[in-house]
Chain A
Amino acid sequence: MTAAALCEMLNLIPLAGMEGKNKEVTGGYIGDLLSWVMGRCKEGDAWITVMGNRNAVAVALLRDVSCIILCEDAELDADARTKADEEGIFIVRSSLPAYELAIRLSALLK
Chain B
Amino acid sequence: MNALKKHYIVPGDDFTRAGEASGKVKGTLKQLGYNSDVIRRVAIAMYEGEINMVIHAGGGEADVSIYPDRVEIILSDHGPGIPNVELAMQEGYSTAPDDVRSLGFGAGMGLPNIKKYTDEMRIDTKIGVGTQMYMTIRVHP
A residues touching B (Cβ–Cβ < 8 Å)?
32-36, 38-39, 43, 51, 53-56, 58-59, 61-63, 79
Contacts and interface: CB of A to CB of B under 8 A. Distances in A.
22 contacts: A32-B104, A34-B104, A35-B104, A35-B107, A36-B109, A38-B48, A38-B109, A39-B109, A51-B103, A55-B19, A55-B51, A55-B103, A55-B104, A58-B18, A58-B19, A59-B47, A61-B19, A61-B23, A62-B19, A62-B22, A62-B43, A79-B16
B16 A54 contact: yes
Interface of B is mostly: helix
Interface stretch (B1-9, B63-71, B110-118, B122-130): B110-118
Contact of A35 (B23, B36, B109): B109
A58 B48 CA distance: 11
Contacts of A59: 19, 47
Contacts of B15: 55
B44 interface: yes
A39 B40 CA distance: 9
Nearest to A33: B107
B36 to A, nearest CB: 7
Interface residues of B, number: 24
B43 A63 contact: yes
A76 B113 CA distance: 27
A55 B18 contact: yes
B26 interface: yes
B48 to A, nearest CB: 6
Given A55-B103, A58-B23, A58-B47, 4 more contacts: A38-B48, A43-B36, A53-B104, A63-B44
A33 B104 contact: yes
B34 interface: no
A53 B116 CA distance: 26
Contacts of A63: 40, 43-44
